[in-house]
Structure 1
Amino acid sequence: MSGAAARRPKVPKASNAVLTPLNSAATLTDRAGMREVAERAGVAMSSVSRVLSGHPDVSSAMRARVMAAVEALGYEPNMLAQMLRSGATHTVGFVVGDISNPLLAQIALGAEVRLRAAGYAMLLTNSVNEANLDATHIRLLQQRRVDGLLLSLSDETSDETLDALTRSMTPSVLVDRDLPLDEPFSAVLSDHASGIHQAVDRLVALGHDRIALVAGSPHVRPTRERINALEDALENHLGVVGQVRSGAFTEAHGKAATRELLAGRRPPTAIIAGGNQILVGVLDELGARKVRVPADISLVTCDDVPLAKFFTPTLAMINRDPYEIGLAAAGLLLDQLSGHPPETVILPTTFVTAASCGRPPR
């Protein structure tokens, strides 16, 4: 016998064992856990399945018994097994234009809280105000098989984004956005006109006749609504001049626009900052020029910021509730996932006057 033959490995005997699919162990474990929950709650396994999947045809008493058993046993449903059975991932994607904006962070928080309570996880993407990333993130989330989308887009006019949404079959909710598409979308919109009208009326009552709006991008609904509202409001006040400077929702734009306005032949006596990031730039430029608020110029900002309460004088604001916006958007998406038709909800804005609004200088 040669050395090579002596070293030949032994061939194992044929086995009659049946190969088990990779996911079957998880499925069996999940079913075993559900069986224990059913036995403890004194109900059928089908009842446990309906409760855990959020089925509406479950009595409150049944749901309470099952959830008490789940908590007592520490049972955690196997999400992969549930996804394979139902085709749902119980995840929702949120496309956010710029998560560094405190307003959008609060909206995302409200949405996540509402979704989590309904058994959904939320995947958040940040487009850093780049329109091409909106479309990229929409496609990415669809590849992840999310059950629905929340959309606070950087640019409503992007052809790439509109094409991605036209091809999409994923239930979607617009967050203060308005798309030029025939497909119906659910939407949570803010009534920007109401707050702008109230602010203009207050400034005119104080004697202001030159009011400027430093607005964000005209490619999103909030900016267009604020500009239109300012023009409408000034029609009710003859002799009052409005000036608009639109651009990005950034500190740099706020600073540059304020510099341009103050250098003009007839600078404004009041400025409305159309966003909390824009506000930072406005304040920076006013400070650099030693322009006093409200002695030299009155100031109103759109949307509250956490540090605003520390600003002296206190800032007048056109407020809305971003947390409520997030809750409402998530609620509309959950309704769609339950079979309801698309719906639009309009939430209010309110002007709150403060010491930053005073009479114009002589």
Structure 2
Amino acid sequence: MTQKTLTLQDVQRILEISNLDDLTDKDITQLRRKAKKRWHPDTIAHTKPSKEQEALYAENFNLINDVVDLLRAYISGDFQAGQQYSEDYHASTPESPVDVIRRNAPTMQDMLTRVQHEVKETQYKVEESSVTVSDGFLVKDMLKSDLDDNILVVCVMSMYGFVWISLLPFMAISIVLSVNEVLGVLLFIPLMCVSIIHPICCILGIIPLSRYWLPVKVVNFIIPWINFGNIFYIFIAVFSNFGCIAFFIGLPFLIIRMIVTLVKWLIFAPLYAIAIMIWGEKRFGIIKQNVRYMAGVADWYVTKLITTDPSQLETEDLFALSYLYDEYRDVWKKWARDIY
């Protein structure tokens, strides 16, 4: 506990008045309310104040009652100009703005919850704007990714592998057809469907940037089909120890892979390079979303602020809550008058 000496200059500074004469009790009450609002730490909490500002506001806020008492003493004649006025001044560290807001957070949350319906009805300080939630991709990055991922090679080799994978089923069905034509046809139809679907999926995969511009469901459908053809790699690995079989199957595989790789670098790579020069900086797949704001604060964030336990709110959240409280205090007063 220390002694804080106050003067009439402190009264004028904190209550922000120049003329101390002819003030009524009602005037003093209004000055007290004004000062409470003026020097409340919440007033600057959302502006990221300096430590000096925080200390000034906290000290002035704590002195309001003392300077009001001094003003009353002056008006009643118990205090004369030039005299110093002393009151016990609590030297304990003033509450920080964050602590003040956290202590008052339940009241703020309750008020904002109550006025939400009124705000939505009147659209007071409510606006809606389109927000970019994803910047998408640069065309140059997507084209480079296509080349780096060997999409062309993977798809072509999948078709080659599928030919060998489907060879045995076709041979088996031809035998069944010679024995039972109906059963053979029933087996042949689904195999033909598979034989048509697979190359179509591979061709779609080869088309530049198809995995980006095709619908997600289509991409999710074609990828397993492309991977199915690449089971042939396992087949080659299994029979790699069988000389003639490995040579008969593996050599064409290596030759085709080499040819496709050459096509990739001699044809696709230059075309991609030209495309990068022309459209490389353009963006693809930008996603925007309409977001509703209350006094500049996103609606989803407002919901978080008024539903989260104050003890769990971060410093920035508390400042945002205090800011919203100040912005919608007038709505609360009007709502309360209408109700009561």
TM bucket by the smaller chain? under 0.3
Instruction: Pick 1 or 2: higher relative contact order, CA cutoff 8 A, min separation 6.
Output: 2
Q: Kindly indicate which of the two structures has a greater share of residues assigned to helix.
A: 2
Q: Kindly indicate which of the two structures has a greater share of residues assigned to strand.
A: 1
TM-score between both structures, scaled by the size of structure 2:
0.22
TM-score between both structures, scaled by the size of structure 1:
0.21
Structure 1 or 2, whichever has the larger Rg, is 2
